[in-house]
Structure 1
């Protein structure tokens, strides 16, 4: 499910401060990168048995290589996914996401969005 109640999409930022902000908000980069793309995931536990949700923020390098640690990343629209054991995470609208999970995702992404804007503003001054 696309999470569009934020202005994260099209944000452009250096990889290192981006990763710092994302990790500060609980997101994990782990090994989910290649030379051109990054993917940050935040696990959201659910009271539902055997159900886990993930907030995903992805981006791609507009300059440099991700593996070098010196890339400029442009972010895409964040996603909300539902993990189906053992098949993986599905991000489609038809997954039927509970409103409390959507609300939590919106709060987390609003916080990330504010921190990204603050960093960009400070860098500009």
Structure 2
């Protein structure tokens, strides 16, 4: 499921500040990056299954490994994990309404914080 028009897709921010904000909201980057892209995930374990909220971005300046990159965020995703194949983000997936609502609130909170220092 793609969260469109959250406002995050219009924001650019310094990688270090973005890392802190995402971690404050329970999204971790860990090893999910390459020189040009970052991925932040938050795991939700519910009776309906395991779900991941994913916020991604790409470097418009610098490289991610230098810790001095400028990141352009893109539309966040919500996916369901299927063992052993991985996470599916397709529109045919069924996501609990309470989870979707929780993710929307979380994304709104992240947007409000990132806007304070966005470039």
Q: For structure 1, which runs of at least 5 residues remain unmatched after alignment?
A: none
Q: Which residue of 1 aligns with 2:36?
A: 36
Higher gyration radius (CA): 1
Question: What is the distance in 2 between the residues matched to 1:61 and 1:36?
Answer: 5
Deviation at 1:44, TM superposition (A): 1.3
Q: Give the TM-score, by structure 2 length.
A: 0.95
Q: Which has the higher contact order (CA 8 A, sep 6+)?
A: 2
- TM-score w.r.t. the length of structure 1 is 0.91
Deviation for aligned residue 1:47? 2.1
User: Which has a greater percent of helix?
Assistant: 1
Moved beyond 6 Å, runs of 4+: none
Gap regions ≥5 residues in structure 2 = none
2:98 to 95, 100, 111: 100
Partner of 2:112: 114
Aligned residue-pair number:
119
